[in-house]
């Protein structure tokens, strides 16, 4: 957490509730380079296009209150800035070594804006031109910029290579709104070096519907642990086939994250100490983590954030016997394994309401699933609609998401 300097006095409101969403930005090898941070002061306080200044102030304020270390985990924070925010130097409340100032597409470039960007750059900040398109009016700022974020939806596909060739030698080209792996691979081959969008959550589906042999044991574990009556001998044997998973599971269970009073010394000891609900939860977690080792780390971390978030906010819904943690955890298993979701769910006997929600069918869990996605994407209008419908306190949603980010980071670090 960085204390506020003089420029932050009008931004610093320590008792305000904060709502945050993160959109990861990847390198060519799918490692996280940074996060674009999206904030709102409350679910009903969605900013209109004419109130972007308020959104910008909220972003900077919230970054200070929450700490970039929590939100970004040591990666770069990409912060949207309006014209006024640039001219008044609001971004200087954030540490230059980890902040990228994004000049919004609504900013009219002139001498004052250029001077503000040069001042930020001289202070150690990196500059990005957001939502860049061909014939962009901000072209005069390119010599100052470190990144150009090309909007690949608004830019015709046949111009992607030309844009990369034109600007790539001077700045780092970032392909923005990359929604599938085909476009990720295409832009990467054209010379783009950073990528933003939901391509990493889209499964690179195999040519057949067979589960890869290297992943099959994890699916067998999920199948065994979600039977109505668990065969503990069979489950123990499956776990013991994966030495790294045994080690990881015991580390998890003995860590402060899980808080068990007694040390758990073996798989059999773990199974004997835990109730069936806990066994289903932690074996599912360990199997998912194991399956995700060869995939982008952010994919696994997003699944963990979703799982904990669903669990935390589920108190306002009719609980029944549903495992809300599992709903979030399995929501990205198709992308982790590279297998269609319907194929996976034929092998894992999950609750029918979870199955329906994951397959996009009517389910009483669908609102929670949609809330999870809306929060993750910064769709504040959708968040507000669902929160109102189910009488979920706004602060509970905000706090649950931040707690989930912290929790997921701790689990991955084990």
pLDDT per position as a tens digit, 290-337: 888 778 889 989 999 999 999 999 876 665 567 788 899 999 988 888
Residues 317 and 217 in one domain: yes
In SS3 terms, 78-89 reads as EEEECHHHHHHC
Residues 169 and 225 in one domain: no
Q: Has residue 6 got a pLDDT over 80?
A: no
Residues 155 and 230 in one domain: no
Task: Tell me the torsion sign for CA atoms 136, 137, 141, 143.
Answer: positive
335-361: b (≥16 Cβ within 10 Å) or e = bbbebebebbbeebebbebbbbbbeee
pLDDT for the residue numbered 11: 34
Q: Is residue 303 part of a domain?
A: yes
pLDDT for the residue numbered 123: 94
Residue 70: band (very low, low, confident or very high) from pLDDT cuts 50, 70, 90: confident
pLDDT for the residue numbered 168: 94
pLDDT per position as a tens digit, 102-122: 999 999 999 999 999 999 999
**CA dist., res. 124 & res. 132, Å (int):** 23
Highest mean pLDDT among 88-102, 200-214, 251-265: 88-102
User: Considering 144, 173, 200, which residue would you say is the last residue of a domain?
Assistant: 200
Q: Is residue 1 part of a domain?
A: no
pLDDT per position as a tens digit, 172-221: 999 999 999 999 999 999 999 999 998 988 765 544 456 666 677 888 88
Residues 65 and 194 in one domain: yes
The gap from C-alpha 165 to its chain's centroid, in whole angstroms, comes to: 30
Residues 289 and 196 in one domain: no
Residues 67 and 137 in one domain: yes
pLDDT per position as a tens digit, 145-166: 999 999 999 999 999 999 999 9
Q: SS3 helix, strand, coil % of the chain, rounded to 5? A: 55, 10, 35
**CA dist., res. 65 & res. 3, Å (int):** 9
Residues 257 and 156 in one domain: no
Q: Is residue 208 part of a domain?
A: no
Residues 377 and 230 in one domain: yes
- Residue 231 neighbours by CB distance under 10 Å: 12
- Residue 205 neighbours by CB distance under 10 Å: 16
Average pLDDT over residues 229-238: 85
User: Considering 153, 169, 200, which residue would you say is the last residue of a domain?
Assistant: 200
Task: Give the 3-state secondary structure of residue 297.
Answer: helix
Residues 117 and 20 in one domain: yes
Residue 54: band (very low, low, confident or very high) from pLDDT cuts 50, 70, 90: low
Higher pLDDT residue, 397 or 42?
A: 397
**Using an 8 Å Cβ cutoff, are 24 and 196 in contact?**
yes
pLDDT for the residue numbered 230: 85
Q: Has residue 44 got a pLDDT over 90?
A: no
pLDDT for the residue numbered 89: 85
pLDDT per position as a tens digit, 12-38: 333 344 677 889 999 999 999 999 988
Q: Is residue 206 part of a domain?
A: no
**CA dist., res. 256 & res. 313, Å (int):** 22
pLDDT for the residue numbered 162: 96
Average pLDDT over residues 381-390: 90
Q: Is residue 205 part of a domain?
A: no
Number of domains comprising the chain: 2
The CATH code of the domain that includes 397 is: 1.10.3210.10
Mean pLDDT of the chain: 82
For every residue of 174-240, DSSP letters joined together read EEES--SHHHHHHHHHTT--EEESSGGGS----SSSPPPHHHHHHHHHHHHHTSSS--HHHHHHHHH
CA dihedral 50, 55, 57, 61 (to 10 degrees): 170
Question: H or E stretch including 53?
Answer: helix 52-66
**CA dist., res. 372 & res. 357, Å (int):** 12
User: Considering 200, 234, 258, which residue would you say is the last residue of a domain?
Assistant: 200
Residues 83 and 186 in one domain: yes
Residues 368 and 236 in one domain: yes
The CATH code of the domain that includes 97 is: 3.20.20.450
Q: How much of the chain, in percent, has pLDDT values that exceed 90?
A: 38
pLDDT for the residue numbered 146: 97
Higher pLDDT residue, 134 or 215?
A: 134
Q: Is residue 168 part of a domain?
A: yes
User: Residue 340 belongs to what domain range?
Assistant: 213-413
**CA dist., res. 297 & res. 410, Å (int):** 13
pLDDT for the residue numbered 288: 85
Highest mean pLDDT among 96-105, 232-241, 256-265: 96-105
Q: Is residue 94 part of a domain?
A: yes
Q: Is residue 362 part of a domain?
A: yes
Q: Has residue 355 got a pLDDT over 60?
A: yes
Residues 225 and 194 in one domain: no
């Amino acid at each position: 957490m960085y204390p506020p300097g003089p420029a932050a006095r009008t931004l610093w409101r320590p008792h305000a509730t904060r709502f945050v969403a993160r959109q990861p930005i990847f390198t060519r090898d799918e490692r996280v380079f940074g996060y674009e941070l999206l904030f709102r002061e409350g679910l009903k306080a969605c900013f209109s296009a004419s109130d972007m200044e308020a959104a910008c102030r909220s972003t900077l304020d919230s970054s200070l209150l929450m700490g970039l270390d929590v939100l970004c985990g040591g990666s770069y924070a990409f912060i949207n800035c309006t014209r006024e925010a640039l001219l008044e130097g609001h971004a200087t409340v954030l540490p230059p070594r980890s902040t990228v100032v994004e000049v919004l597409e609504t900013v009219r470039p002139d001498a004052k804006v250029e001077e503000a960007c040069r001042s930020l750059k001289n202070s150690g900040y990196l500059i990005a031109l957001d939502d860049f398109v061909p014939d962009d009016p901000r072209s005069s700022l390119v010599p100052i910029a470190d990144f150009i974020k090309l909007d690949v939806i608004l830019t015709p596909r046949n111009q992607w290579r030309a844009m990369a060739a034109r600007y790539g030698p001077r700045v780092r080209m970032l392909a923005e709104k990359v929604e599938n792996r085909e476009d990720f691979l295409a832009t990467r081959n054209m010379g783009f070096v950073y990528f933003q969008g939901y391509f990493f959550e889209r499964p690179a589906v195999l040519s057949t519907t067979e589960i890869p042999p290297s992943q099959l044991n994890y699916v067998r574990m999920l199948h065994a642990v979600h039977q109505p009556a668990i065969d503990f001998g069979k489950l123990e044997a499956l776990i013991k086939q994966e030495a790294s998973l045994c080690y990881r599971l015991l580390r998890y269970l003995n860590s402060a994250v899980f808080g068990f009073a007694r040390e758990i010394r073996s798989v059999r000891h773990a199974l004997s100490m835990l109730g069936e609900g806990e066994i289903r939860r932690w074996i599912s977690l360990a199997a998912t983590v194991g399956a995700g080792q060869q995939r982008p780390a952010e994919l696994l971390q997003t699944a963990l954030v979703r799982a904990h978030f669903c669990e935390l906010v589920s108190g306002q819904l009719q609980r029944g016997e549903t495992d809300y943690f599992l709903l979030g955890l399995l929501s990205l298993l198709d992308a982790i394994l590279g297998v269609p979701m319907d194929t996976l769910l034929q092998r894992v006997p999950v609750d029918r309401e979870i199955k329906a929600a994951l397959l996009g069918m009517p389910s009483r869990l669908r609102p929670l699933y949609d809330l999870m996605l809306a929060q993750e994407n910064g769709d504040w209008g959708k968040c507000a609609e669902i929160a109102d419908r189910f009488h979920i306190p706004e602060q509970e949603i905000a706090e649950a998401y931040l707690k989930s980010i912290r929790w997921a980071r701790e689990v991955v670090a084990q």
